[in-house]
């Protein structure tokens, strides 16, 4: 090999040794631990959802997402899984053929100049695909003549039917 090649290799070896030596003797900086923040749980307030086509409003939990379908159909699902609530309205919704002991009679106050009561039926049914229990609330809105169908399970559904309002 030529003399210049040897000199180049020696120069590169010395440069590599210096760079490596400098990096080996360098100590990593001590980083302060990140500050700890205490997370406080926030109570999510229910949102009031108005289904104007059906003429009703009701509170939905803040952790539920509304998926609106065609017409007056809406499905509420929990973001963490679990409760699902289905709301729809149309004329002449068929009532499930259940025994009388699986039907609860409810009443809603209809606000207005002449206070009246709207009769509703809460059906305690089972799902056809897996036999899981499901509740179905069906009543007729006297203001628009549409049948309202609300189905679901769990605390979210019970809260919804307790706080259901008929719009004026």
Highest mean pLDDT of the ranges 6-15, 61-70, 134-143, 152-161? 134-143
Q: Give the single-character DSSP code of 81.
A: S
pLDDT at 130 over 60: yes
What residue ranges define each of the domains in the chain, with the CATH number in brackets? 47-166 (3.40.1000.10)
120 contacts 108 by C-beta, under 8 angstroms: yes
pLDDT at 39 over 70: no
Digit-coded pLDDT (tens) for 136-165: 999 998 888 899 999 988 888 888 888 888
Q: How far, in Å, CA of 86 to CA of 74, rounded?
A: 6
Q: How far, in Å, CA of 34 to CA of 20, rounded?
A: 31
Q: Give the single-character DSSP code of 35.
A: P
Digit-coded pLDDT (tens) for 76-103: 888 776 788 899 999 999 999 999 999 9
């Amino acid at each position: 090999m030529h003399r210049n090649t040897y000199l180049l290799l020696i120069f590169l070896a010395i440069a590599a040794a210096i760079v490596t030596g400098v990096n080996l003797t360098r100590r990593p900086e001590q980083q302060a631990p990140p500050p700890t923040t205490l997370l406080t749980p926030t109570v999510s307030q229910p949102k009031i959802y108005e289904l104007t086509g059906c003429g009703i409003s009701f509170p939905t939990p803040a952790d539920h997402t509304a998926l609106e379908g065609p017409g007056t159909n809406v499905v509420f699902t929990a973001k963490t899984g679990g409760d699902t609530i289905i709301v729809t309205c149309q004329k002449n919704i068929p009532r499930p053929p259940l025994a009388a002991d699986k039907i609860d009679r409810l009443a809603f106050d209809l606000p207005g100049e002449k206070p009246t009561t709207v009769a509703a039926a809460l059906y305690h049914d089972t799902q056809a695909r897996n036999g899981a229990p499901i509740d179905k609330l069906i009543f007729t809105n006297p203001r628009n003549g549409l049948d309202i169908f609300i189905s679901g399970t769990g605390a979210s559904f019970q809260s919804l039917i307790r706080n259901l309002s008929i719009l004026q």
